[in-house]
Amino acid sequence: MSNVAYEIVALLCRILSAVPLGTNRGLFTLMWALLSGRFLPSRGAVFPALAALELPASEVRRAEAALAYGRFQTQELVRDWHQSVGEAGRFRPPCYEGIRPVACDLSGFYRPKLGNCATKHYTSQAAKALPALVYGLCVEVGSVGPMRLGLLRLLLRQKPGERECDLQRRLLREAGATLCPDEALIVDAGFALSDLRALSGVGFVVRLPKNTTSRRNLLPPYAGKGRPPQWGEIVRPLPRTYGKQRIPATKPDAIARWKEGRHTIKAHLYENLVASDEKPGGISYRLIVIYDPRYHQPLVLGTNLPVTAFAIRQLYRDRWPVEQLPLAAKQILGAERSFVFGQEARFRLPELALLAGNLLSYVAGTAPAIPSGFWDRSCRPTCGRLRRYLAKLHFSELALPAEQLRKKASITEHLPKGVDAHRRQKMGQPQSQAAWAT
């Protein structure tokens, strides 16, 4: 067994250290089936993916039972995973003028045929919201070796009856509670600026729509006649057209420029602003409009951080590693489709897939690049190449710690077996009488 396999086994054992005995063995088997890509040929079916590891039928059933009925919380696994990576010291977070980025986003695993699925998520392919299991992701952005990586910090599932906007608010609150003084939340345009401003003592950078409008956080001077002004001056960072009338953009408070190679980046800064429906006196924020000649449309960002426009742009660009988690879980590991319908298993399988994809990306960045074949002469350390390598390993050859990962020796002689174990019974009738009734 190679050093990469030893490292993956050690990381999985560390993550599953708090899981009860027996359940951790089943979860280890399931996680290895995910990491080695067994869910790709099975098209999301759990039993064929586990059987592809050439396991006995009893161990396949125990692994599925650990997924459906095991006593564990996925967030506890995420916490142990985050702690293990932090103690290893290989993860290097970037810092821009004293601020480190922490990205948040929502991801949906679409289940159009799942019965009683009360949550939906928008997809651009269908141009509408489809039944899906929606999760809130919070990652600490950094780099491992030559790769950028989003280290999973929080993984929240959408509750039944909870709207996506409520899930976003809950994600922002819980993510803001975990931030260090030198960290800031970086989110995309789907998050509301008002929700970020409602967080006390939390720095943020959010992308805003191009037709966003704000007001000055101070009253204009009194003209000497009429009613004194009660609202601040309207600020429009970009020009717009209303009918046949063209409304010009508001003059910026400052302009910043810097060079990136042969390109000159320009930024317009608007300071001390409040919402367009808010009177002066509220919590102020800034608007930064970035013009890059390589793009047709400018980038409009809102923030409350007292740093330069260059740092704000770099912080927002580091939001993209949060998109790597669902990409690795769905496309690389094959969890885009799943055939689990239990009330708990339907949520746990995507959660474990997100965790497995994050682990695979981390190990791929720390280990030497593994070529796919003789043609792969300039290979990069990607999670896809590592997954193809793990698919060639036999599960029985893994060196597993027998004292930690083993079957739980439970006494089951007193329990009904076979048909009597699952025979239907009337309400209020004892199990012992129903099991042996003739």
Q: Tell me: do 217 and 281 sit in the same domain.
A: yes
Lowest average pLDDT, out of 22-31, 280-289, 426-435, goes to: 426-435
Average pLDDT, the chain: 89
| 314 within some domain | no
End residue of a domain, out of 397, 412, 429: 397
Give the end of a domain, one of 260, 290, 306. Answer: 306
Residue 282 placed within a domain = yes
Q: Does residue 97 come out as left (phi exceeding 0), alpha (psi in the -120 to 50 range) or beta? A: left
**Number of domains present in the structure of the chain:** 2
Residue 45 lies in a domain: yes
Q: How far is CA 64 from the centre of its chain?
A: 24
Mean pLDDT calculated for residue range 40-47: 91
Determine the number of helices (DSSP H) and then strands (DSSP E) in the chain: 12, 14
In a domain, residue 46? The reply is: yes
33 assigned to some structural domain: yes
**Domain co-membership, 233 together with 296:** yes
Beta-carbon contacts of residue 424 (< 8 Å; ≥ 6 apart): none
For residue 10, give its domain range: 3-79+339-397
Quick one: 211 and 299 in the same domain?
Answer: yes
Nearest of 296, 300, 313, 294 to residue 252 by alpha carbon: 300
Q: How large is the average pLDDT for residues 333-340?
A: 89
User: Cα–Cα distances in Å, from 208 out to 45, 54, 212, 309, 434?
Assistant: 40, 51, 7, 15, 62
User: Is residue 249 predicted with pLDDT exceeding 90?
Assistant: yes
pLDDT at 99: 95
The answer, yes or no, to whether residue 100 has pLDDT greater than 50, is yes
For residues 348 and 300, membership in a common domain is answered with no
- What are the C-alpha distances in Å from 160 to residues 118, 192, 347? 6, 22, 12
Q: Are residues 287 and 238 in the same domain?
A: yes
List of residues 6+ apart from 407 with CB closer than 8 A: 22, 25, 62
Q: Tell me if 355 is assigned to some domain.
A: yes
Instruction: Verify that 207 and 302 share a domain, yes or no.
Output: yes
Q: Write down the pLDDT at residue 376.
A: 86
Indicate whether 53 and 9 sit together in one domain: yes
Confidence class of residue 437 from pLDDT cuts 50, 70 and 90?
A: very low
Pairing of strands 285-291, 299-303: antiparallel
Judge if 260 and 351 occupy the same domain.
Answer: no
Cβ atoms of 11 and 80 within 8 Å: the answer is no
In a domain, 367, yes or no: yes
